[in-house]
Amino acid sequence: MSKFSWTILKTSKKNKARIGKITTPHGDIETPAFIFCATKAALKSFTTKDAKNNNTQIILSNTYHLMLQPGSNLISKHGGLHKFIGWNGPMLTDSGGFQIFSLGYGSVADEIKGRKTNSKIRKTVININEEGAIFKSYIDGSSILLTPEKSIEVQRDLGADLIVVFDECTPFNVDKNYTYKSMLRSHRWAHRSINAFNSKLKYQSKQGSAGLQEIYGIIQGGIYSDLRLESIYFNQNKINTFGIAIGGSLGSSKEEMKEVVNFTASKLNNIQPVHLLGIGDPIDIWTFVEQGIDTFDCVSPTRLARHGSALVKGKKGKINLKNRKYKEKLSPIDNECLCYTCKNFTLSYLYHLFASQELLALQLLTNHNIFFMNNLMETIRTAIKEDNYENKKKEWLEN
């Protein structure tokens, strides 16, 4: 069985963009790469076989949701997530810490877009303390305590190749004092997560239900530069992890998000693979790859598809296929796109499917958006390889 390794194959001469390779027991990941979210162990409306046919390298599933349903023990009996969902490639699971944020305050998209969600969202986080976070299950209403040790236990049962420490993702609208206290608690939780990961209570050390695993640390600190620096120091000097992720609040606007990510990425030692949690806008990916980010994850490509939006090149980024202007358009989404959808179907047909509420619409548009994201990452890797990043980026944005 292959072990884990991280290799930097090439770094751009003009910025920090780099091509790398993450080797896992279930295959290699060429970076920069995008990780698609199969939150509840399924890519909505799409099979893992289709995902592989569209050049998908790695899939992410959610610890919190799978802990509640169907339960991590059942998944471990299958031999882990890989066999459970029929995916013979690398996988990553988050820790459940993001749910402290999303179930208590709203989504990252809500935050970045400045939506006021506090009065509308059904909050299910009961309490956060040193021991962990107490949630109210959306399945049966029962109270569940999720601790760093429990998170790691569940992630070992799920068996993903890459797992992450348990943390709290604070929203932007809490003050610096709370952000600081939360960051320090997340650091203590990280120590507990790693101790649990290295224990042999259920599996061999550093193993899960599907074999060897590796763990990522998470940088917190919200929008505050000094806190980010403290968290970077902690992650790079006080704990030993395979990779490092940039997490926590990234601000209340696109501009603030870029400032936070760019500052954080600029202070990293660039020895480990770097993951950016929850960001999937293509323009942002072009920007953050320049800062040395290696992998990204987000629900947006598949979620946009379910709502009728197709990803396209250029600053516009997407088009809404439910718009009546596409009713008689006999061209595909993109004449140059080689995905199954664009090679076989017109905008007019896709409009018809959505207007008729045909389920095929979701599958065909998901197919395009997944192919699009993987093609974007391939374009970026080629641009780095050819030392032509700025020209490729400009060409892509002006398409």
Beta-bridge mates of residue 212: 207
High-pLDDT (> 70) share of the chain, %: 93
Q: Is the pTM of this model over 0.85?
A: yes
What pLDDT is recorded for position 115? Answer: 41
Catalytic-labelled residue, pool 94, 161, 281, 284: 94
**Residue 387: active-site member:** no
Catalytic-labelled residue, pool 157, 281, 294, 297: 297
Confidence at 103, pLDDT banded by 50, 70, 90 = low
Residues 39-87 have pLDDT tens digits of 999 999 999 999 999 999 999 999 999 999 999 999 999 999 999 999 9
**Residue 297: active-site member:** yes
What pLDDT is recorded for position 200? Answer: 87
For range 303-326, the mean pLDDT: 97
Q: Could you give the domains of the chain?
A: 5-31+62-298 (3.20.20.105), 309-394 (no CATH)
Place of tokens 């289709």: 50
Kindly tell me if the per-residue pLDDT of 112 is higher than 60.
Answer: no
